[in-house]
Chain A
């Protein structure tokens, strides 16, 4: 029997093992978030908001006050909270559909207003909970339930470049990065910086996490990682896109 690496302290042990599918990337993103919360010692200050989609399964994931919202509406709920009580450290956690499709106006507006919240979008290139339909992030040629012959950019557009968009529209003080569950240590670093940026009151803090969905990708372990590290990496560049005080890193 192998012993799993220690759970972050702020995880809710009672709800583990978690409810995500085997091989899902959410557990890794939430591990990175949990570690960042632990390292910053902010478990009693964080309010975690989860979207609808697979992210909804995290409603009792942490020993942290948590609110499950509606599909796409996590950014405004956390914004409203933060505006009402600035002592809260607000984390809005959602999938790519919630962030870039149904909730895109909220993401754009939270970014342009430089809301002092941390927004995390998990990008697994399709809608997981509803059974694998095309998402804004679906790769060109990728087969999903609603693009059975592969996504045709001619008729369905190109994958949304979320962090690039946020970096382009957010004012100075915002923090924007894209990490990957293939490098949890780096991802944790980005999320930690995003939380610190909020705590410093600098501005909107945004991290996209490239993630895995073997269930809907219909991939085995090897092909799952291959899709992330070869196909997705070609299109979605990992790194920091906007860091307060270093203007030169803006955009790409």
Chain B
């Protein structure tokens, strides 16, 4: 058996793309399928350089449709399989993702948001929130983790495989171009040494025995004749999702209990917001910090608790309200005023957040 990619713990100083590749190795991912698109390319580069030593596999496909569908195929064959994409590639990825939702195929996709619409910039944005949480022609039966730091990238890439295989919903790690390309320190570890057990995988097709004799054949479909047939299947899926959601939901918050205004953000923007809230607190402002880590499912209960006491929310994102829309849905009926700092396709600095809060609070 090949040696473990990571033994013990080690602090390293690397790019986010390298983090994802190592996390997938540590999570015992067996095969990656991918198509080149900036800024995710280096995930494939690190993966292909490292895998011969660890007996893992890679296939470069002809486009993201194929990358997604081959990943589906890999999972159906019982492998811990993943892909990575961004921007226009994420648009194409929604087609295979909808099949994965329809057939409960636990694929993992890492998305590194770039500017949009269209080809836009290869650099950075948070404009793939709507697409990643609710893309496809269905009900958004997927899990989306939004990462803020390299440590998040490592932790949640590993976790994504377990969430996917435990609940059998496709799972996204939603990062961005800054995280892909920047370097900062991160601690790599072997999940087993931290007591993280990888959820075992299971083949959907090609199991032992003669189909129709020793076992029923596996007949998987995503087309239904009758609307009632589809409805029945969806009711089951939606019930499963609703049951799993409270177990999956994650958030990070501080200083919300006595806050008049709570700053809400996700992903890399939450780093700026965290600094801004800390600074404003020191200056005597009654502000709090809230960051949904799962954007799908949204941590609704935690949000509503904050909404019960805060008078104002400031939603900060590198998009024109894609997070805000999800928050409005989650907090419908709440009375807190929702204020915004939207910078579509552009990074947000802590100075800007501080300035916006001071503008609001006078």
Contacts and interface: CB of A to CB of B under 8 A. Distances in A.
Q: Do A and B come from one complex?
A: yes
A63 interface: yes
Contacts of A68: 220-223
A87 B65 CA distance: 25
A52 B66 CA distance: 16
B69 A81 contact: no
A47 B205 contact: yes
Interface stretch (B39-47, B73-81, B233-241): B73-81
Interface residues of B, number: 44
B74 A65 contact: no
A87 B206 CA distance: 8
A88 B70 contact: no
Interface in B89-113: 95-96, 99, 103
Given A70-B69, A85-B206, A88-B205, A80 B219 contact: no
B302 to A, nearest CB: 37
Nearest to B99: A70
Contact of A80 (B73, B203, B209, B222): B73
Contacts of A106: 62, 65-66
A66 B220 contact: yes
Interface residues of A, number: 36
Interface stretch (B122-130, B210-218, B270-278): B210-218
B57 interface: yes
A47 B206 CA distance: 7
Contact of A84 (B74, B209, B220): B74
Contacts of B222: 68-70
Interface string A190-232: 0000000000000000000000000000000000000000000
A59 B219 CA distance: 6
Contacts of A12: 212, 217
A106 to B, nearest CB: 6
Contact of B210 (A44, A52, A80): A44
Contacts of B79: 84-85
Interface string B1-34: 0000000000000000000000000000011010
Contacts of A76: 61, 65-66, 69-70, 73
B71 interface: yes
Contacts of A63: 211-213, 217
Contact of A77 (B59, B70, B206): B70
Given A66-B219, A81-B74, A109 B66 contact: yes
B97 to A, nearest CB: 11
Contacts of A67: 76, 103, 204-205, 218, 220
Given A47-B206, A59-B223, A70 B95 contact: yes
A169 interface: no
B319 interface: no
A65 to B, nearest CB: 4
* Residue of A47, A81, A85, A87 ringed by the most chain B CB atoms within 10 A: A81
A79 B70 contact: yes
Given A84-B77, A84-B81, A77 B72 contact: yes
Interface of B: 30-31, 33, 57, 59, 61-63, 65-66, 69-79, 81, 95-96, 99, 103, 203-213, 217-223
Given A73-B66, A85-B79, A88-B77, 15 more contacts: A44-B210, A56-B221, A63-B212, A65-B205, A67-B205, A69-B99, A70-B96, A77-B70, A77-B76, A79-B59, A79-B66, A81-B77, A83-B33, A84-B77, A109-B62
6 closest A-B pairs by CB: A80-B73, A63-B212, A80-B70, A109-B62, A76-B69, A84-B74
Interface of A: 10, 12, 43-45, 47, 52, 56, 59-60, 62-70, 73, 76-85, 87-88, 105-106, 108-109
10 contacts: A52-B223, A60-B219, A65-B204, A66-B217, A67-B218, A76-B66, A80-B69, A81-B74, A81-B76, A105-B62
